[in-house]
Structure 1
Amino acid sequence: MIKDPAGPVTSRRHRHKLPWFKSRHLWLFGTLMIYFLMVPLVEEILPRTRTILDLFIILVLATAAYTVIGRKRTFFLALVLLVSGLILVLGDYQWHSNKVMIFGCVCFVGFLGIVIFSILKEVMTQKEVSFDTISGALNGYLLIGMMWGFAYQAVEAAWPGSFHIAELAPRLAGVSAYVGPQLSSLFYFSFVTITTTGYGDIIPLSTIAGQLAITESVVGQFYMVVLVARLVSLQTMFSKRSER
């Protein structure tokens, strides 16, 4: 039997290391960062580019689907939910039906739930910490915020008045023209909630809206605690193996 002269640790390291341009998690993370950081700036400079900005969130969702393309069944189910959600939500722009909006947002919630579960499973089963692993963990956290944003929109569509949204409440750009006038503000509320910041400019009024907000804040904290603990333990074990 021929042994690897570089040793088993080095061999494993090369097997798991991916070039940055082949990292699906890195592509998704980059797309999310551009959306959150650059899109609001573009909207301020070019306020009439709403349609282009709305299409950008579709790119984010498509990139999220690409992260699970390696699992055929998971990818097929995620793609069905994504396409169904897009048809329903974009169709609501013409139909103006709350039921269509609700089903569309539920499809997006299911789609993002599948992607988040797949990302979390992949991160938790890694044998070492890499930039791809860290990107995947961050993607999961950001996608949880997006998933709850769609859930809040479904609740608001089903029970109008579930949220009190102040007139001057900030909005995340690029999500209001096609997917409902409240969604941009509810996306903002979702990320304020998951980080437990709580500015008070958007308040859940109904029982289900309040319960969703509580659940999101708890899930967000658990996610960070579990993922940080897992990544630290992986790095510790990898360092010990490298010293041997």
Structure 2
Amino acid sequence: MFREKFLSNLYTQLLTVLIFLAIASSFISNSLGKVILSFILVVFIYIIIHSLVSHKKIYQFAYLSLAVLTLSSQILIETQPEFLGRPFLIIIVGIINLSFLGLAIYIIGKKISQTERVTDDILKGGICIYFLLGIWFGFWYDMIYYLDKTSFYIISFNEQPVYFQPIYYSFVTLTTLGYGDIVPVSRIAKNSAVLEATLGVLYVAISVSRLVSLFISDEINRRN
């Protein structure tokens, strides 16, 4: 009974967690808080993917291993900052994080595209992918920045300390808002920003619009 209820509101719960983490991250700056937020994100995404591929044990094991590596790398980064001074390790951690989120986006996107009926929960699943894309690119920008800190130009306002905020920059780029306080400088940073902005526009215009259209059509047919 509980499993059926959980599965019927899978993406609603994921969206709730993603929104909570987005709000909580605005008030948490210490290492322990960041580790806790990372733990919540990794564990909940793993639970979602585990539910979606419950019939494939090898996928479950592989994704569990990836989840453990992702969480371990986040803890290592927060507790051992000097770790980020080694380019090879930065690339390894980046690949782990990007693979964990990228696989989640792929599995969720595939499940949503294969659904025969677009429910309210499926619609929220489409929104979840949008959030996850923003986080994925945030990890990507973080890796670029730590490999070459000249890849981005950060403008200081009111003489406040300046820090690179990859998730903030990612969502500003994804939504094509572009405040201009963080500017891509290197070629890879510029190309990544263009790619993300393009994906952000096309995803909303095509995928989300399609889901909304199917959801409305289904609601009309159901009421008739």
> Structure 2 matches for 1:152-191, cutoff 5 A?
152-168=141-157, 182=164, 185-191=165-171
**Unaligned runs of at least 5 residues, structure 1:** 1-17, 170-180
> Structure 2 matches for 1:106-145, cutoff 5 A?
106-145=95-134
SS of 1:231 mapped into structure 2: helix
1:198 aligns with: 178
Q: TM-score, normalised by structure 1?
A: 0.75
Cα pair 1:166 1:202 within 8 Å, conserved: yes
Which residue of 11, 25, 35 maps to 2:11?
A: 25
| Amino acid in structure 1 at the alignment position of 2:146 | A
Which residue of 204, 209, 216 maps to 1:229?
A: 209
Cα pair 2:8 2:121 within 8 Å, conserved: no
SS of 1:26 mapped into structure 2: helix
**Unaligned runs of at least 5 residues, structure 2:** none
1:65 aligns with: 46
Larger mean Cα displacement after TM superposition, 82-91 or 100-109: 82-91
Q: Distance in 1 between matches of 2:216 and 2:74?
A: 46
Q: TM-score, normalised by structure 2?
A: 0.81
Larger mean Cα displacement after TM superposition, 156-165 or 105-114: 156-165
Q: Calculate the aligned-residue CA RMSD, in Å.
A: 2.5
CA-CA distance at 1:221 after TM superposition: 1.4
Q: Distance in 1 between matches of 2:76 and 2:25?
A: 24
TM superposition outliers: structure 1 runs of 4+ over 4 Å: none
More helix by share: 2
Identity score, percent: 26
| Amino acid in structure 2 at the alignment position of 1:144 | L
Look at both structures and tell me which one has the larger radius of gyration over its CA atoms.
1
Q: Distance in 1 between matches of 2:157 and 2:87?
A: 25
